[in-house]
A and B are shown apart, each in its own frame.
Chain A
Amino acid sequence: MNEKTKPSAVQLAYADILSKVTLLGMVFLGLGLFIYVFELRPSMVSAATVSEHWHMRASEYTQHLQTPNGWDWIEHIFYSDILSYASIIFLSMGTIGCLIVTTFAFFKEKDRIYTAISIAQVLILLLAASGIVGGGH
């Protein structure tokens, strides 16, 4: 690889954050499921109850079992199934975090077009994460 083919500073910054977030995310996923499956903490909905209802549609499932909606799960974070769920949320936040870093990196390089595209992308993902668009039942 030479200077011409070397990835840009922005790309390398994205890669650095992405590798850290992904590694942490995988660790949380494993820990979360371990705690849930081996019942190291009480759960809101036990694994056995989940298996009795996982043939249902998601909307029917959440209504039937009264599982938390949108961001309401935060209040119940110390339940094992919610902890496991939170680890999935962390992984889903990973891309947003990387894009925020990328936005600053493009801004530093005075690349207006990609600063604007990155900001727009972050806003779209934050909109999806907020649950305003297509979220909740």
Chain B
Amino acid sequence: MKLCWVTHSKTKNLTLSFAQMQEIIRRFAMKLMASGLFVLAVTLPSIAQAQELAASEPTSWWVWLVSLFLFTFCLGMVAVVAGVGGGVLFVPIVSSFFPFHLDFVRGAGLLVALSGALSAGPLLLRKGLANLKLALSMALMGSLSSIAGAAVGLSLPTNVVQISLGVTIIFIVAIMLMAKKSDYPEVKKPDALGQALHIHGIYYEESIKEDIPWQVHRTPVGIFLFLVIGFMAGMFGLGAGWANVPVFNLVLGAPLKLSVATSVFVLSINDTAAAWVYLHKGAVLPLIAVPSIAGMMLGTRIGVKLLAKAQIKSVRWIVIILLFLAGTRALLKGLGI
């Protein structure tokens, strides 16, 4: 398909093929993402300074609204390319560099993670990449503990939550650096609980054009771990993909793609449960939550299109460093340093 562009000032025709147009758009989007990362790196200290000045020289609310939208847009792009959930980036970074109290950031963080899971969900289910029975079996206990985590988190003194958040984020960075992945773990024999709950299936792996049968083991251990993960997700307002995926993949033995896709459902259920606690405690402000959700969702859509061409390793390293800095800042903030 050819497109003809005729400039008014010149009689020369510029003819571009559709593939060339796509390449131009992709390069533009890559530059946009690189600019986004640059913006994040350069403006974060300025935002932090502005936060400290905010008490004495109030900045217009709409400036924070627009900044939050742009910031989460960049975060969304970067999160997809780096293979990190938007939720786990949102809370530590926004709480460190914006003037909102940690309670409101955590409330918004849960909704950001939830919205991402709700938008990705239908496609993953229709493609058979996610398994509802696997998700429901694990989410039941996780949702109970996420309610408890949310209630506890909103009752604890802020500095205790800040310190715990900082330590947790640094722990997540360690997991991201050290965790192994197994594309197709070998599960020789499913355990009794897994069999009783019929947690098994077959999915079609497009990359190798094969049907992959799967089953799980260590189901009771998995349920216990989801209890812990749910509590932490509720307490800190984080999406729990960073923990769900390794548990599904390395503990239960589910294939990696299935683990990633099914994690989205567990997240949507557990985050919904915790979000209600934040809503009832008045810890959700539309002025913070809605621009964050919009920015993150738009950013992830662009990030998905960049995934094929992006230098994933470099972006992932930048994100890990960013997270480490944010976690350290949260820890120091909690310690009053």
Contact = CB atoms under 8 A, between A and B. Distances in A.
A46 to B, nearest CB: 9
Contact of B115 (A10, A85, A91, A121): A91
Interface stretch (B24-32, B276-284, B321-329): B276-284
Nearest to B288: A54
Interface secondary structure of B, over-half rule: helix
A55 B269 CA distance: 29
Contacts of A37: 62, 65, 287
Contacts of A11: 125-126, 128, 130-132
A1 B201 CA distance: 14
A54 B101 contact: yes
Interface residues of B, number: 74
Interface in B146-160: 147-148, 150-151, 154, 158
Nearest to B51: A55
Given A18-B125, A102-B132, A33 B290 contact: yes
A91 B203 contact: no
Contacts of A128: 143, 147, 272-274, 276-277
Nearest to A20: B122
Interface in A30-58: 30, 32-33, 36-37, 47-48, 50-52, 54-58
B137 interface: yes
Interface stretch (B77-85, B103-111, B172-180, B249-257): B103-111
Interface residues of A, number: 71
B88 interface: no
Interface string A57-73: 11101100001011000
11 contacts: A7-B127, A12-B125, A15-B126, A25-B115, A26-B115, A50-B287, A55-B99, A91-B115, A92-B114, A124-B147, A128-B143
Interface of B: 54-55, 58, 60-62, 64-65, 99-101, 103-104, 107, 111, 114-115, 118-119, 121-123, 125-128, 130-133, 136-137, 139-140, 143-144, 147-148, 150-151, 154, 158, 196-198, 202-204, 211, 268-269, 272-291, 293-294, 297
